[in-house]
């Protein structure tokens, strides 16, 4: 701290400090993005009381911490502050993140140590307000150091030839999560009324920021868990053209009780599509286990019927009383890519629909009980040969049972649609079925919907 600056509690702020120079905006030296609201506040008249409500409302519109900070920074400028910065503390490391200044979307990180003994440290520790006056003959930069622990940000604020620097604790639900630092340029000191208003605003902003922080912590946990349950990107299978779609019943989730998986087992390819009873997060957790069990079993057994038997034994002995329906395929494309043998086994699931390139369409009838109920079950395996342009569509019951104005979507409608898409390629097939089913629903709620199409065709190589 330099001797040119004085520090005082805000209550000692001199009256009449709000003398405003008419051209202060020219001193800003940067343009804040215009919002084109048509209601530009009269800054000369001082901040309006309504700003607390306006900024608070805008901030509660966002549950994302960074967006919430941006709302606050945009809201206080230029009506309350000529320059502003938000400091957030990381409760785990104690480190500080600084957001604000000329490029508010850029974040600067500094250590807690770097603010030792500074005004900012006191504000973060006590949550109390500090008003700092920088004398006019000072270039400002050094005087700002006690509140702004970043050279770049300090230099920006110094351009205003600041008179007052106001630091406010952001305290919500009993903890100080950071600070709001606002700077006013030459001729625009903070009045007592300004400081009182700023404190009100800080209190309101803190609640919004704290909610966003809590949401973000939860959301991070959820995202990490969800990432392991989201169907992975489809691999490139030589000689096959693959596509998939997934519409969970709970629309805001990316996961549900349906799943699909395509993976290499040795030099062969296995494809699985399944449906765990139930929907939402509980069901999704079970699909994660099922997928893993199948991948593990595939190390030892790749013939689809035998693979399903092994999986069933493991799944049935599990403490879970839930069951699962599955289709399991082994893909064996011919070396020339003109045909592909597909072995299929089914556990209590709708058989895949075979779409021949010439327009013939049939659902393959393959028996097999649901998995997870009886310990020892044999599953028959059926083999079909796909010629170039033929496709198999695997789907879950969210398709047939999609309920619209005129009843269930049903298998007949699906087969009729698919006959038009003979030879159209996997992506077009999935896109058409998805659209037709969702339009049939016409906004009604639905079960999880999963589609996996496998066509015999040249390597399209885009499913990475």
Partner 1 sequence: MAELTARRLDESLAAFELALAGVNSTAAVEVVEGLLADGVEPVDVLTGVIAAAQRNVGARWQRGDWSVAEEHAATGVAAAATEAVARRARLTPITRGKVLVACAEREWHALPAMIIDCVLRADGWDTTMLGASTPPLRLGQYLQDLGPDALAVSCSMLGALPTTRRFIEASTTAGIPIVVGGAAFGTDDVRARALGATAWAQDAASAVEAARNLPTVVQVVPPLPDEAVAEQAALELSHRELAARVLADWRADPDLEIAEDAVTQTLHAVWAALLTGDPRPIPQTAEWISALLAARGADPELIADLGLQLRIHLRDYPLAHSLLTTSWPTSAPL
Residue ranges that bind partner 1, judged by CB under 8 A: 33-35, 37, 58, 61-67, 70-71, 73-74, 104-105, 215, 219, 223, 241, 243, 251-253, 405, 420-421, 423-428, 431-432, 434-435, 438, 442, 457-464
Q: How far is the CB of 25 from partner 1 (least distance, A)?
A: 17
Secondary structure of residue 345 in the 3-state scheme:
strand
Task: For residues 147 and 154, give the distance between their C-alpha atoms in angstroms, rounded to a whole number.
Answer: 9
At its nearest, how many Å lie between partner 1 and the CB of residue 171?
23
Min dist. Cβ of residue 223 to partner 1 (A): 7
Which CB, 186 or 219, lies closer to partner 1? 219
C-alpha to C-alpha distance for 79 and 46, rounded to whole angstroms: 7
How far apart are the C-alpha atoms of 159 and 406, rounded to whole Å?
69
Residue nearer to partner 1 on the CB measure, 93 or 105: 105
Select 68 or 329, whichever has its Cβ closest to partner 1: 68
Query: How near is the Cβ of 402 to partner 1 at its closest, in Å?
Result: 14
Give CA–CA dist 122/200, Å, rounded.
19
Cα-flanking dihedrals φ and ψ of residue 72, to 5°?
A: -65, -50
CB closer to partner 1, 131 vs 283: 283
**C-alpha distances in Å from residue 216, one per residue of 6, 68, 134, 204:** 39, 11, 37, 19
The answer to whether 246 and 261 are in contact (CB under 8 A) is no
**Structure tokens that stand for 124 in this block:** 């973060």
Write down the least CB distance from residue 318 to partner 1, Å: 31
Q: Tokens 């069933």: give the residue.
A: 312
Q: In what order do the strands lie in the sheet with 339-347?
A: 258-265, 268-276, 324-333, 339-347, 382-387
Paired tokens of 319: 């403490």
Please give the structure tokens belonging to residue 73: 């920074």
- The minimum distance between CB 460 and partner 1, in angstroms, equals 3
- How far apart are the C-alpha atoms of 443 and 438, rounded to whole Å? 8
* Both tokens assigned to 446: 């639905």
List, in sequence order, every residue forming a beta bridge with 247; answer none if it has no partner. 449
| Integer angstrom CA distances of residue 256 from 285, 403, 436 | 8, 19, 21
Identity of the residue, 401 or 434, whose beta carbon is nearer to partner 1 in the bound complex? 434
Cis ω on the peptide bond leading into residue 78 (within 30° of 0)?
Answer: yes
**Closer residue to partner 1, CB minimum distance, 63 or 230:** 63
Nearer Cβ to partner 1, position 62 or 287?
A: 62
Look at strands 107-110 and 258-265 and give their pairing.
unpaired
Q: State which residue, 290 or 429, has the beta carbon closest to partner 1.
A: 429
Instruction: At 270, give phi and psi (nearest 5°).
Output: -115, 140
Task: Compare residues 396 and 426 and give the one whose CB is closer to partner 1.
Answer: 426
CB of 70 to partner 1, least distance (A): 5
Tokens of 54: 């306006």
Q: CA-CA distance, 378 to 269, in Å (whole number)?
A: 22
Cα separation, 255 vs 356, in Å, equals 31
CB of 364 to partner 1, least distance (A): 22
Cβ 33 to partner 1, closest distance in Å?
4
**192-227 and 51-60 are packed helices; what angle lies between their axes, rounded to 10 degrees?**
0
**What is the DSSP code (8-state) at residue 385?**
E
Closest to partner 1 by CB, 105 or 317: 105
Cβ atoms of residues 409 and 437 within 8 Å:
yes
Q: Which is nearer to partner 1, 97 or 219 (CB)?
A: 219
For partner 1, which is the closer residue by CB, 86 or 310? Answer: 86
**Shortest gap between Cβ of 462 and partner 1 (angstroms)?**
4
Tokens 């796909």 correspond to: 386
| Contact call for residues 2 and 147 (beta carbons, < 8 A) | no
Contact 81, 43 (CB under 8 A): no
Q: How far is the CB of 290 from partner 1 (least distance, A)?
A: 24
Q: How far is the CB of 252 from partner 1 (least distance, A)?
A: 4
């Amino acid at each position: 701290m330099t001797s040119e600056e004085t520090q005082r509690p805000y209550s000692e702020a001199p009256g009449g400090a709000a003398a405003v120079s008419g051209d202060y905006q020219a001193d800003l030296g940067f343009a804040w993005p215009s919002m084109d609201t048509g209601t530009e506040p009269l800054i000369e008249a001082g901040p309006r009381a309504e700003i607390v409500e306006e900024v608070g409302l805008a901030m509660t519109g966002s549950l994302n911490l960074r967006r919430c900070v941006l709302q606050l920074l945009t809201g206080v400028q230029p009506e309350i502050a000529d320059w502003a910065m938000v400091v957030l503390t990381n409760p785990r490391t104690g480190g500080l993140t600084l957001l604000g200044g000329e490029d508010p979307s850029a974040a600067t990180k500094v250590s807690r140590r770097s603010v030792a003994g500074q005004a900012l440290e006191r504000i973060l520790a006590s949550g109390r307000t500090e008003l700092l006056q920088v004398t006019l003959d000072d270039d400002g930069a050094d005087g700002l150091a006690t509140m702004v622990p970043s050279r770049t940000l300090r230099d920006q604020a110094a351009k205003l030839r600041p008179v007052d620097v106001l630091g406010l604790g952001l305290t919500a639900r009993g903890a100080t999560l950071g600070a709001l630092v606002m700077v006013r340029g030459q001729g625009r000191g903070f009045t007592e009324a300004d400081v009182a208003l700023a404190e009100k605003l800080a209190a309101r902003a803190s609640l919004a920021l704290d909610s966003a922080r809590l949401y973000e912590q939860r959301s991070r946990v959820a995202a990490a868990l969800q990432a392991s349950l989201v169907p992975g990107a489809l691999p490139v299978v030589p000689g096959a053209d693959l596509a998939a779609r997934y519409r969970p019943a709970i629309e805001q989730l990316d996961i549900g009780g349906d799943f699909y998986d395509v993976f290499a087992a040795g030099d062969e390819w296995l494809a699985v599509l399944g449906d765990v009873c139930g929907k939402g997060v509980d069901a999704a957790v079970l699909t994660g286990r099922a997928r893993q069990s199948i991948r593990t079993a595939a190390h030892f057994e790749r013939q689809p019927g035998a693979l399903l038997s092994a999986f069933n034994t493991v799944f049935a002995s599990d403490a879970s009383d839930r069951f699962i329906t599955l289709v399991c395929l082994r893909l064996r494309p011919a070396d020339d890519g003109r045909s592909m043998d597909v072995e299929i086994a089914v556990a209590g699931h709708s058989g895949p629909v075979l779409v021949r390139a010439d327009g013939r369409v049939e659902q393959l009838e393959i028996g097999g009980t649901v998995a997870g109920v009886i310990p020892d079950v044999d599953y028959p395996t059926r083999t079909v040969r796909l010629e170039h342009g033929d496709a198999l569509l695997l789907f879950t019951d969210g398709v047939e049972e999609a309920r619209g104005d005129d009843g269930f979507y049903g298998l007949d409608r699906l087969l009729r649609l698919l006959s038009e898409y003979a030879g159209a390629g996997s992506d077009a097939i999935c896109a058409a079925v998805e659209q037709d089913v969702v339009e049939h629903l016409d906004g009604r709620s639905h079960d999880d919907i999963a589609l996996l199409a496998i066509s015999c065709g040249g390597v399209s190589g885009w499913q990475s």
